[in-house]
Structure 1
Amino acid sequence: MRPSVSDLQLPPPYSLVPLREAGDAFAHACAIAAEEGAGTLAWVRRYDLAEFAVVLEPEEPLEEARRAIYAGMNALADALAVHAPPSRPITFDWPDTIRVDGVLVGGARLGWPEGAREHEIPDWL
């Protein structure tokens, strides 16, 4: 059964941007980040995997703000742990891959505005 938009309940301040099955959550989130802002969650309603991207607005320079990927990976691991049997270990492959019981189940990417400088605060991640 395909998940519907009403199946995904988000707390404030998040806002949902659902995409069709053939969408690219990462690319779409990068394209709308400047306009939509922090808390925007792009979600592709696919049958075979969970694909989503969230927009952040960091308060530190890009070189430090990149650490957000680790917080995101830990949040993903926590979400998977709720649904995975306790006997199935959840592990990371450096720097952006997540496995459940040794099987690749996902990963992460981090984007920022083109031309952003390392020592400046980017408008979004």
Structure 2
Amino acid sequence: MVMMTFVKTGKGAGSRVTGKLKWGAGEYEVVTGGYGKGAIPDGTYDIERYDAVVGDKSTMKSGFVNPASGRGWFLPLTPKFTTTRHGFGIHPDGNLPGTKGCVGLQGADMKKFWDKWLKTAMAARPASLVVSTKI
């Protein structure tokens, strides 16, 4: 089974946490938290590959849209542990910096990640995400 990892490695402004999302040889700058209940909790998540949402600035919230391309996407995440929080996902961090607990890709990594996702066959796409903290 292919998986991704997100290691939280630094603290950003306010309650934002920064780190690296890793998928195979690819490594992407991401942010989580800053709004809502803060950063995504550590643990294992299912990546709902078949439930990805794709759109543009006319159909999606600006926080899920890459401002450079005007295109947006959201990969839902389901925790494999008990939590009262919900609505997690991986998406471009396209509005103000930070998320409500999602994994928000930064800068040019928004496009690099999504291009790789689209070029990868569904069965070869990651099915899980492991989140950890090393701050």
Report if TM-score (shorter chain) is over 0.5. no
TM-score normalised per structure 1? 0.29
Q: Which has the higher helix share?
A: 1
TM-score normalised per structure 2? 0.27
Q: Which has the higher strand share?
A: 2
Q: Which has the higher contact order (CA 8 A, sep 6+)?
A: 2
